[in-house]
Amino acid sequence: MTSPSIHLADSDCEIQSQVSLAEMTTFRVGGPAEWFIAPTNVEALQASYAWAKAQEISVTFLGAGSNLLISDQGLPGLVISTRYLRQQTFDAQTCQVTAFAGKPLPRLAWQAAKHGWSGLEWAVGIPGTVGGAVVMNAGAHGGCTADCLVEAHVLQTDGSIKILNTEQMAFKYRSSCLQQHPQPVVFATFQLQAGQSAAQIKATTQTHLDHRLSTQPYDWPSCGSVFRNPLPRTAGWLIEKSGLKGYTLGGAQVAQKHANFILNSGNATATDIFNLIFYVQQEVEKNWSLLLRPEVKMLGEFPQIT
């Protein structure tokens, strides 16, 4: 029996019901979306947002599903996936690239390198999208989104699109104003630099990728780094020194290769992962009198922790 669907007027997109979200997250866990759509253009994005408002239901935006833990119960309301909003343009005169929210960040980094444009080499190993990178101020290898963002175009509650510049984004470490005041990113423009040869930039990009592959676990599903680094220390170091490398709870495991990664070892539930995150927090706080703050965003209903 097929799930009911709703066709949006003037669009080739359909809103579907009870769509599993597990395969749309890098953790490979999570329940269904009450309603789900993957728009193919801005008009369909705005139309689906308007539909949710008319139905008076909540809206959740989903990019690559990295840095995200969705509960086993799934999500109420409408989930809007940006997976098909991947267009980008490179302006040779300004050395700026504009990319839509669903554009995979590693792919954009390689495209910039092939143009001989520097500025996104750090992004090659981050398993997220442009939209998520802007919201989270994603970064690695000493670079971050704030370093090169020119402006972000975000969707307002009335369906219009507003432009935010870098100052308005209020970037901080792994943070922006869009976390405190959620406004989904539609597309963003980045300022890059020409001058080096494409070969040099591609070599630097490959070096960053090789480093991530050699130091971080990619053999099992994960969300990337689970906790923010409480600088000057790193979360991974604190977890490792707490003796938690390899610790298992249900189907979830603290990675042996990098302790700030939690892995789905094959049969984990979202609740397993959630409980392991809390356990790691408890142990680190007990040993170091420091509470690790999750970098992973948790959506849906999880067990009450007492």
The per-residue pLDDT for range 66-107, each reduced to its tens digit, is 889 999 999 999 999 999 999 999 999 999 999 999 999 999
Number of domains in the chain: 3
Residue 229 belongs to some domain of the structure? no
Same domain for 94 and 207, yes or no, is yes
Residue 223 belongs to some domain of the structure? no
| Residues forming a β-bridge with 252 | 249, 264
Residues recognised as catalytic: 174, 225, 295
Same domain for 61 and 96, yes or no, is no
Structural contact between residues 298 and 27, judged by C-beta atoms closer than 8 angstroms: no
pTM: 0.87
Range of the domain at 19: 5-81
The per-residue pLDDT for range 191-215, each reduced to its tens digit, is 999 877 778 888 888 888 777 776 6
Residue 269 belongs to some domain of the structure? yes
Comparison of pLDDT for 99 and 6, the residue scoring more = 99
The per-residue pLDDT for range 154-182, each reduced to its tens digit, is 999 888 999 999 999 999 988 899 988 88
Q: Is 54 helix (H, G, I), strand (E, B) or coil?
A: helix
CA 278 to each of CA 73, 184, 227, 272, 304: distance values in angstroms, whole numbers, following the listed order: 19, 28, 11, 10, 11
Same domain for 19 and 136, yes or no, is no
Residue 227 belongs to some domain of the structure? no
Cα torsion 47, 52, 54, 55 to 10°: value is: 140
CATH assignment of the domain containing 251:
3.90.78.10
Residue 224 belongs to some domain of the structure? no
